Structure 1
Amino acid sequence: MDRRRFLGAVATLVAAPLAAEAQQAGKVPRIGFLFFGSPGPSRELDAFRQGLRELGYTEGQNIVVEYRFASGRVQRLPELATELARLKPEVLVTPGTPASLVAKQATSTIPIVFAGVADAVGAGLVANLARPGGNITGLTSISAELGGKRLELLKEVVPKASRVAVLYNPADRSNGLVLKALQKSAPKLGLTLQPLEVRGPGEFEGAFVAMTRQRTHALFGAAGVLTTEHRNALVDLAAKRRIPAMWGERQFVEAGGLMSYAVDFYDQVRGAAVYVDKILKGAKPGDLPVEQPMKYELVINLTTARTLGLTIPPSLLLHADQIIGGSGH
C-alpha cells in the first residue's frame, strides 16, 4: 500500500467513529412504555411525563415515547412487549410486575426500567438489588416489613378483628408475594388470615359472599392488574357488606375505600424517568442499584369510616399523609 492510500485508510478509520458519535449525538432517543392500563388519562402516564420534563426532556422534540396499552388484559402484554422490542428503543419502561416480566422475556439486550414491582428478586427480575446485572433495573415497591405494618394499621382501626380476609389474584405474581408477607406477620398480631382467590371480575361477588359466611372482621385487598382495574366494583362490594378494608394502593381509597398503606405509585413511575436519563447518558442498567421505597403513605377515607361506624384513632389521623372527607394534609 502506498503512503497516500495508507494515510487515507487511517483517516477513514479515525473519522468513522467520530461520524458515528456525531450521528448518535443528533439522534432523538426513543423510549418504549409498556402499560397494563388503558390509553386514557392516568396518574402513571402523567408521572412519567412529569419525570421526563423535570430532566429536560420534551416529547416529540428531544425524546420520543412509544406507548403500548394492555387495557387491563394481561394476556396482551407478551405481544405488546415483542412489538416494542422490534422497534429497538433505547430503553423500555415497564410499570408493574406483569409488564416487567414479559419485557424481560422479550429482550435480553434492550435496557429495561421497571417501577412499582413488589419483589424484584423474588419475581426473578434481578439477581440482587445492589447489582441487578443483565439489562434491567428500576424501583421496587415493597419492603419486608410492609405486610406487618398494614395489618397493624388495620387492627388499630378494627381492634376486635381476629379474622382478616385477603383478596388476591393467584395469577398475579406480586399478589402472591404480598400474601406471603401478610401470612408471616399475622400470627404475631393474633390474626387468622382467610385467603380468597379471584381470577376475574365474575368471581368478586362470590368472594364477598364467602367473607360473610366466614364471619370476616376485616379485609386486605391486594393491588394488581385485575383488582386495580376493577377497584370501583371491589370498593362497592366492601361497602355493601360493611367490611372495613385496607387496600394495596391509594386509588382504592380515592374510589371510596377505607384506607391504604403503600408506596406512591406516581412517585415510582416518575422515578423511572431518572433511570432512563442515566441509561441514555451511558450507564448500564445492570450497574444501577434497584431503588427501594424510602417511605409509604397512609391514606384514610373519613367519609367511609363514618359510614361503617368506625372511629379512626387520633394518632392515626395525625400520621396520615392524606385524609379524604375531612380536614387533613
Structure 2
Amino acid sequence: MKRRDLIKLIGGAAAAWPLAARGQRASAIKRVAILMGLAETDAEGQARNKALRERLQKLGWTENNNIELEYYWNVNSNKRGDESVAEVMNKRVDVIFTNSPAALAAAKKATRSMPIVFVQFTDPVEDGFVASVARPGGNITGFASSEHVMSTKWLDLLRELAPRTTRVGFIQNVEHPSWLRYNRIIQEVAPSFGFAAVPIGLRSVSEIEEGINNLSLLPGGALLILPDTFNTINRKSIIASARQQGLPAIYPLTIFAKEGGLMSYGGDLVDLFGQAASYVDRILRGDKAGELPIQQATKFDLVLNLRTAAALGLTIPSSLLARADEVIE
C-alpha cells in the first residue's frame, strides 16, 4: 500500500470514529414519556415528578446523559389522552409513565408492545387494564394508590369527626373508570354507618359548586371527595365550596388538607412516584412490564386541619388527634 493511501485510510477511519461514537451514545439514551393529569404549574404535580426524577437518578439514570424525560401535562380528558398518546406513538420512547386514567386508557388502545407504568389507580384489574395483580400480562404494570374498600375507612373517619352526619355526598368525575364501582360500594356500605349516600357525579367544573350547594340544603350533610385527577385539579374550588356551605369533608390526598380541607386520608402519592421509578428502571434494563406484579401503596397518612375544624364548629376527638400523622394548626 502506498504511503498516501495509508494516510487516507487512517484519516478516514479517524473521521468516522466520532460519528460512530456519537451514534452509539445517542442510541444508548433511553426515552421515557411522562403523561401527567395535572398542570405543569401545579405544586403537587411538581412534587410527584421530583420524587420520580430523584429516584431515577439514584438508580443510575441521569437526564441529558443516559435518559430523556418527555413531559405531557394536563392529560385529564379522553380527548387530551388520545392526542398525547398519538404524539408519543410517533416518537421512539422506551417507556410510557402515567398517572392519568385518560392517558392509560388511550395508551392501552394504542399499543400492545410499548411498556407502560402507571401510578394512582384504584383497581386496574377490574378496570380491565391488566389480567391480574400478581401477573399483569401484556405491556402494563404499575402502582395502585388505594382500593375501593377504602370507602369504609373514609366513612368511618367522617363519622368519628362529624358524628351528627346523616348523609354523605360523594364526589367524582363520572368519566373516571372507578365511578360506577365507588357508587355501588358506597351506596351499599353507607347505611351501616348511619349515612344516606348521595352521589354527586360531575362532568364539568361548573357543576362543583351546584352539587355541593344542593347537598347543603339537606340536613346532616357531609362530603367524601374520591380519588380523581379532576378533583385534585379543582381542589381549591371544592375546598372553598365545602367550607362556604359549612360541610365537613374528607379528602383522599394530603394536599387537600394542607390547602384548607378538613381532613385527608390516603396513600402518599409523592412516595409512590418514587417507588414507581424502580419499575421504570427494571424495564429499561430488560424486564418485561407484564411480568412485574402490581404494587399497592403501603404508606397512608391521616392529616387534620384544626383551623378548618374550628371554622366549622367541630371539636376533633383526642383519639383522632392521637392517630394523625400531621396536624395543621
Q: Per the shorter chain, which TM-score range?
A: 0.7 to 0.9
CA contact (8 A) 1:74 1:225 kept: no
Q: Which residue matches 1:27?
A: 28
Whether contact under 8 Å (2:75, 2:102) holds in the other structure is: no
TM-score (normalised: structure 1): 0.87
Q: TM-score, normalised by structure 2?
A: 0.87
Q: How many residues align?
A: 305
Quote the Cα distance in structure 2 between the aligned partners of 1:26 and 1:320. 49
Q: 1:311: which partner in 2? A: 315
Structure 1, unaligned runs of 5 or more: 1-18
Equivalent-residue separation in structure 2 for 1:129 and 1:71 (angstroms):
25
2:290 is equivalent to residue 295 of structure 1: no
Within a 5 Å distance, the mapping from 1:36-75 to structure 2 comes to: 36-40=37-41, 41=43, 42-70=46-74, 72-75=76-79
Deviates further, 257-266 or 98-107: 98-107
Query: Does the aligned pair in 2 maintain the 1:217–1:243 contact within 8 Å?
Result: yes
Following superposition, the deviation at residue 94 of structure 1 comes to: 0.8
1:253 matched residue in structure 2: 257
27-36 or 166-175: bigger deviation: 166-175
Alignment counterpart, residue 161 of structure 1, candidates 143, 158, 165: 165
Question: What is the CA–CA distance in structure 2 between the aligned matches of 1:238 and 1:198, rounded to whole Å?
Answer: 15
CA RMSD, 1 decimal: 2.0
Q: 1:95 aligns with which of 99, 114, 125?
A: 99
Match of 2:177 in 1: 173
CA distance in 1, matches of 2:241, 2:64: 43
1:233 is matched with which residue: 237, 260, 263? 237
2:15 is matched with none
Percent of pairs with identical residues: 36
Alpha carbons 1:183, 1:193 under 8 Å: kept: yes
Q: 1:278 offset after TM fit, Å?
A: 0.7
Q: CA 1:125–1:72 in 2, change beyond 3 Å: closer, same or farther?
A: closer
Q: Using a 3 Å threshold, how does the CA distance of structure 1 residues 125 and 184 change in structure 2: closer, same or farther? A: same
Q: Please give the alpha-carbon distance, in whole angstroms, between the structure 1 residues aligned to 2:25 and 2:293.
A: 26
Structure 2 CA distance for aligned equivalents of residues 172 and 143 of structure 1: 14
Query: How far off is 1:143 after superposition?
Result: 2.4
Structure 2 stretches lacking a partner, 5+ long: 1-19
Contact 1:143 1:293 in 2 (8 A): no
Q: Distance in 2 between matches of 1:172 and 1:269?
A: 21
1:6-49 per-position Cα deviation (integer Å, ceiling 9, x unaligned): xxxxxxxxxxxxx9xx9599611111111121122522221211
Could you report, residue by residue, the CA deviation over 1:240-292 in whole angstroms, capped at 9, with x for unpaired residues? 00100001222211210001111111122222211001111111111100001
Residue type of the alignment partner of 1:297: D
Residue 164 of structure 1: SS of its match in structure 2? strand
Alpha-carbon distance change, 157 to 189 in structure 1, aligned in 2, over 3 angstroms: same
Residues 164-221 of structure 1 show CA distances to partners (whole Å, capped at 9, x for unaligned) of 1112211112344333332332122222111112111111121122112222421101
Change (3 A) 1:301 1:49: same
Distance 1:225 1:71 in 2: 9
Secondary structure of 1:173's counterpart equals coil
Alignment of 1:117 with 2:156, yes or no, is: no
